[in-house]
């Protein structure tokens, strides 16, 4: 039998990589990531002359990188991230002309970066971060590299020479968030990057105005500038970025009016300009953005009438206007005061008629206001809290923050694996409680659909027996690959399955009869809420012990909504035509018979 692909990852195998591996001479892909291997990389790997991909990342390999790899002349990818490899970066990498990905980050490599790496004309992705390198960056590296600039460039604290990126006209992704960048945004740099698709400059200390040259970025889809110190007005030229889907400018010092030209961004789905100093009316042109599903204008100085004809303004759960005291109108659910419109001057009336008219109107207004006040004070306190306040909004996190929170998604932080991805424990810098990060394996069929289902199912729900979702992250990783993750609160007592069956020797409680009844009631309360107390009935489709998580007090929280279905309409009137997904999935023995 000729083995061409050997792919094992995220397992607790352990052991060493045996020299007999060199007998698999027809091997083209060798991917043994995160399976707790140790020892040295055997020299016999050099016998795999047909090998194109070598991935031994997230293990505990030590020693030097074997020179025998030069025999593998067809290698295109070498991924040795997160090991304990030592020695210098071999200069012989410069002879591997087929190589397009060389990832050596998070090891114990020393010495300087060999200039010979600049000879690899096909190299697109080079990662050397988190080693013990010294010296200068070879000039030859800038001759033929392309692709995205990694966000961790901001950690080059001793960098003295400035490497301009204004000539990187093919650059598509630039993510430098959460660094210590300061000063004005150089328009002469970004004006040339016309192929940018993803631009993240958030969580820095950038100042000054937003350059109008950003209007030249015709391919820009995602633009994050939040949490800086930018000021001035938003340039109207930004309305020419017709491919924008997300524009987030919150927590800056922008002033003036909201440009009406933003109404031309027909692909826009998220617009967040909250926590600034805008002082204008809301442009009615924003009603034209039919794809816009999140609009946050909170905590500015906006005034005047809120549009109410259509678009995002007709959806109370999609718009946030908190902190603007002088707004009026809009849909009734916003509970804003009625806008007073000055009567037309076309029809002149006598002074007597004007006084009578004004008196009548004044009396009616006073009576109406008095009625509203009395009605407000006497009616039952019944809140419909569909527009979240600033404090209850999701955390906004980047891939870099989640990467740091989980120690690079290391195996030591891995707490389990689900149907669509792996789950890691971690801690965010600005969040006091531990978290778990569910990272989806997007190569798995249905994983992205699972991500959307879980975010949609949990995003607007609040119940003490549902696992609280802190945020969803849809971004790109340091390799430029799509990245999707869901962040939850950490449950210290793990799953009910581990408590019942003592899985992996967990330090568990001996559940007595009363505790078991309490947990069952908690799950019942959660299901009752999902079935009867939400606008859309939610059918979990996979209620089993491993999806019931327990906090410090053994209170049960139902989680893992990756297979959940939303049923439109009121309870008791749903039928098969109302189910949003027709694919039958779930765990045998736990799937509801009706689905």
Give me the active site residues, please. Answer: 542
**CA angle (442 as vertex; 440, 448 as ends), nearest 5:** 80
Angstrom distance (rounded) from CA 310 to CA 102: 51
The one-character DSSP state at 121 is T
Question: What tokens appear for 431 in the block?
Answer: 């969040």
- The number of beta carbons lying within 10 Å of the beta carbon of residue 200 is 24
Radius of gyration of the chain (CA): 29
Listed in sequence order, the residues at least 6 apart from 290 whose beta carbon sits closer than 8 Å to its beta carbon are 266, 311
Contact 123, 145 (CB under 8 A): yes
- 3-state percent helix, strand, coil for the chain, nearest multiple of 5: 25, 20, 50
First to last CA, the chain: 43
What DSSP letter does each residue of 300-364 carry, written as one string?
S--EEEEP-SSGGGG-GGGEE-TT-TEEEES-GGG-PPPPPPPPPSSS---HHHHHHHHHHHHHH
Helix (H, G, I), strand (E, B) or coil at 177: coil
Angstrom distance (rounded) from CA 251 to CA 275: 5
The answer to whether 382 is annotated as binding is: no
Listed in sequence order, the residues at least 6 apart from 520 whose beta carbon sits closer than 8 Å to its beta carbon are none
- What's the gap between Cα 279 and its chain centre? 30
Contact 289, 265 (CB under 8 A): yes
**Nearest CA-CA partner of 574 in 519, 536, 521:** 536
Per-residue CA distances from 257 to 279, 390, 471, 520 (Å): 6, 22, 30, 54
Contact 72, 95 (CB under 8 A): no
As annotated, the binding site for ATP includes: 438
As annotated, the binding site includes: 438
């Amino acid at each position: 039998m000729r083995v061409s692909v050997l792919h094992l990852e995220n397992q607790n195998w352990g052991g060493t990589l045996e020299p007999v591996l060199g007998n698999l001479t027809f091997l083209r892909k060798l991917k043994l990531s995160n399976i707790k291997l140790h020892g040295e990389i055997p020299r016999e790997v050099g016998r795999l002359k047909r090998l194109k991909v070598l991935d031994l990342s997230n293990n505990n390999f030590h020693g030097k990188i074997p020179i025998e790899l030069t025999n593998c002349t067809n290698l295109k990818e070498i991924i040795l991230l997160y090991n304990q490899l030592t020695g210098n970066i071999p200069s012989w990498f410069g002879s591997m002309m087929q190589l397009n990905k060389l990832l050596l980050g998070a090891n114990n490599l020393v010495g300087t970066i060999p200039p010979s790496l600049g000879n690899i004309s096909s190299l697109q992705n080079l990662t050397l971060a988190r080693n013990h390198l010294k010296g200068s960056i070879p000039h030859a590296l800038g001759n033929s590299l392309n692709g995205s600039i990694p966000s961790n460039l901001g950690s080059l604290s001793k960098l003295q020479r400035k490497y301009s990126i204004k000539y990187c006209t093919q650059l598509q992704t630039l993510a430098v968030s959460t660094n210590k960048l300061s000063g004005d945004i150089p328009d002469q740099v970004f004006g040339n990057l016309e192929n940018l698709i993803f631009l993240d400059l958030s969580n820095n200390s950038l100042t000054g105005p937003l350059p109008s040259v950003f209007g030249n970025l015709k391919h820009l889809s995602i633009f994050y500038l939040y949490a800086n110190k930018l000021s001035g007005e938003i340039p109207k030229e930004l309305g020419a970025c017709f491919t924008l889907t997300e524009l987030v400018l919150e927590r800056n010092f922008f002033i003036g009016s909201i440009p009406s030209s933003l109404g031309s961004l027909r692909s826009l789905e998220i617009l967040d300009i909250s926590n600034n100093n805008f002082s204008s009316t809301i442009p009615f042109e924003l009603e034209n953005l039919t794809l816009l599903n999140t609009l946050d204008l909170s905590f500015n100085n906006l005034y005047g009438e809120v549009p109410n004809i259509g678009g995002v303004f007709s959806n109370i759960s999609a718009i946030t206007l908190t902190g603007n005291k002088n707004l009026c109108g809009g849909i009734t659910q916003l509970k804003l005061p009625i806008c007073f419109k000055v009567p037309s001057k076309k029809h002149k009336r006598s002074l007597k008629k004007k006084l009578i008219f004004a008196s009548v109107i004044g009396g009616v207004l006073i009576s109406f206001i008095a009625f509203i006040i009395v009605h407000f004070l006497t009616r039952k306190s019944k809140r419909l809290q569909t527009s979240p306040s600033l404090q209850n909004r999701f955390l906004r996190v980047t891939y870099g923050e989640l990467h740091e929170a989980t120690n690079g998604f290391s195996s030591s932080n891995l707490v389990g694996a689900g149907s669509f991805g792996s789950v890691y424990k971690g801690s965010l810098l600005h969040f006091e409680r531990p978290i778990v990060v569910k990272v989806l394996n997007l190569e798995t069929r249905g994983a992205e659909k699972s991500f959307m289902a879980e975010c949609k199912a949990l995003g607007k729900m609040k119940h003490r027996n549902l696992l609280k979702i802190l945020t969803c992250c849809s971004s790109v990783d340091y390799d430029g690959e799509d990245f999707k993750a869901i962040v939850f609160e950490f449950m210290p007592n793990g799953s009910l399955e581990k408590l019942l069956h003592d899985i992996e020797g967990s330090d568990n409680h001996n559940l007595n009869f009363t505790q078991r009844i309490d947990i069952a009631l908690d799950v019942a309360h959660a299901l009752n809420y999902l079935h009867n107390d939400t606008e859309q009935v939610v059918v979990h489709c996979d209620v089993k012990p491993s999806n019931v998580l327990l906090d410090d007090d053994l209170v049960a929280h139902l989680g893992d909504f990756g297979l959940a279905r939303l049923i439109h309409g009121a309870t008791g009137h749903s039928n098969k035509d109302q189910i949003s997904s027709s694919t039958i999935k779930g765990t045998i023995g736990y799937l509801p018979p009706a689905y």
